[in-house]
């Protein structure tokens, strides 16, 4: 198929030539990556007071967090007057804003500010950012024995500072040094495991060993995260922050069905896709959320039978022609076949361009049966799609 190329200008950021319809080459030798790309693991002790839980991690990463905040504030202000006013308000009124957040998250954010020496408002802004800017690919696949594997690419930084000298997104580059695996413990036992950007207390990728796995993908819409945050500022606290909901789900749900009910029925600040996997055959779904209710729940049996895959578009609609990661990912999954479902097989799919792109910060691999979580830094070698 001959590719069609489009010249695309994104405001003042960059000029790209995007070619669509080209042949996709599925890689087969990306796993295992170099050991230097493996993400380290820290512990968050839930028995500690909230202000003490993140001291070790964020104290070690305070320079990197400050660097990311500087980059974020530079580019978020370019998204219009409302975005700029929101940033300035939260930045300046952080003490008051933090007081409105539910516990233990308010105390944890205050503790991060104390450990890093940053203003509380800046740490609040850092945590809000993830409600509205995540672009991802998530896959749950079942091997012939019925074991479920859940994997995801976390793509982040779209439209936030393309560097023409390095051919990279500045926010994406600033995020990679902040990636950590976290074992959440209570009474000395691991309750669940998650992948974090140090300083962010919500959950985007997580596994509760033996029970369920979860990832969140951004869902774009007019009624998006900014609206929910503005409603919160105006005093309407009836909805839940997306990252707080996923964290509470990982802490409190004791089964796939309990987790599913929490994710389906809780009113939220921002729309999202929740990709949820269980511990037995057929337990996998994509929950398509509006802010206030659930639009759709898509079961693995109705998707690919042995796998289900979500990027950032409703599964019943075609993706944008300039952002079709779904088609290449499905092609590579079918080329892999169910016989090769494993960490290696799915990592190779997620390392195939344009599923792997300039926004990709990490690939996480989870096996609910073994309880294993592997997270690897990802870099997309040129030539590579900007997203």
Residues identified as active-site: 136
Tokens of 37: 């790309």
DSSP letter at 338 equals G
- Please, are residues 364 and 374 in contact by the beta-carbon 8 Å criterion? yes
- Please, are residues 26 and 332 in contact by the beta-carbon 8 Å criterion? yes
Cα 213 to Cα 43, 148, 155, 236, 369: the distances in Å are 19, 9, 19, 31, 10
Buried residues in 286-308 as b, exposed as e (16+ CB within 10 A): bbbbbbeeeeebbebeebbebbb
DSSP letter at 240 equals B
Neighbours of 103 (CB within 10 A): 8
- Please, are residues 141 and 333 in contact by the beta-carbon 8 Å criterion? yes
- Please, are residues 223 and 271 in contact by the beta-carbon 8 Å criterion? yes
Tokens of 261: 């009910």
Neighbours of 187 (CB within 10 A): 8
Tokens of 300: 């693995």
- Please, are residues 16 and 5 in contact by the beta-carbon 8 Å criterion? no
Tokens of 89: 């308000």
d(C-alpha 264, C-alpha 270), whole Å: 13
- Please, are residues 148 and 211 in contact by the beta-carbon 8 Å criterion? no
| Residue 70 host element (H or E) | helix 62-76
d(C-alpha 327, C-alpha 290), whole Å: 24
Kind of pairing, strands 179-186 and 189-197? antiparallel
**Strand partners of residue 9:** 15
d(C-alpha 78, C-alpha 225), whole Å: 17
């Amino acid at each position: 198929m001959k590719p069609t190329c489009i010249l695309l200008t994104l405001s003042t950021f960059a000029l790209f030539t995007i070619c669509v319809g080209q042949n996709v080459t599925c890689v087969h030798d990306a796993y295992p990556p170099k050991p230097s790309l493996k993400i380290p693991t820290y512990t968050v002790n839930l028995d500690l007071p909230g202000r003490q839980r993140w001291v070790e991690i964020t104290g070690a990463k305070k320079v990197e967090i400050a660097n990311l905040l500087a980059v974020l504030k530079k580019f978020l202000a370019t998204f219009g007057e409302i975005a700029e006013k929101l940033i300035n308000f939260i930045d300046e009124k952080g003490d008051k804003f933090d007081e409105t957040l539910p516990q233990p998250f308010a105390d944890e954010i205050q503790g991060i500010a104390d450990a890093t020496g940053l203003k509380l408002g800046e740490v609040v802004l850092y945590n809000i950012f993830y409600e509205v800017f995540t672009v991802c690919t998530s896959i749950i696949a079942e091997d012939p024995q019925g074991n479920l594997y859940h994997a995801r690419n976390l793509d982040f930084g779209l439209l936030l500072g393309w560097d023409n000298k390095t051919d990279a997104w500045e926010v994406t580059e600033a995020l990679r040094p902040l990636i950590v695996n976290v074992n959440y413990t209570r009474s000395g036992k691991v309750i669940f495991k998650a992948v974090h950007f140090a300083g962010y207390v919500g959950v985007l990728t997580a596994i509760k060993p033996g029970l369920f796995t979860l990832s969140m993908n951004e869902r774009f819409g007019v009624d998006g995260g900014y609206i929910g945050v503005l409603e919160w500022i105006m005093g309407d606290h009836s909805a839940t922050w997306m990252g707080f909901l996923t964290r509470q789900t990982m802490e409190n749900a004791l089964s796939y069905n309990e987790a599913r009910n929490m994710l389906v029925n809780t009113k939220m600040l921002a729309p999202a896709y929740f990709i949820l996997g269980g511990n037995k055959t057929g337990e996998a779904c994509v929950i398509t959320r509006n802010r206030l209710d659930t639009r759709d729940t898509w079961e693995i049996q109705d998707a690919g039978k042995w796998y289900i895959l979500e990027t950032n578009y409703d599964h019943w609609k075609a993706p944008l022609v300039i952002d079709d990661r779904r088609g290449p990912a499905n092609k590579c999954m079918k080329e892999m076949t169910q016989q090769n479902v494993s960490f290696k097989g799915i990592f190779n799919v997620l390392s195939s361009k344009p599923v792997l792109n300039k926004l990709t910060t990490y690939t996480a691999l989870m096996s609910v049966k073994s309880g294993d979580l592997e997270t690897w830094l990802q870099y997309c070698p040129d030539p590579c799609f900007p997203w």
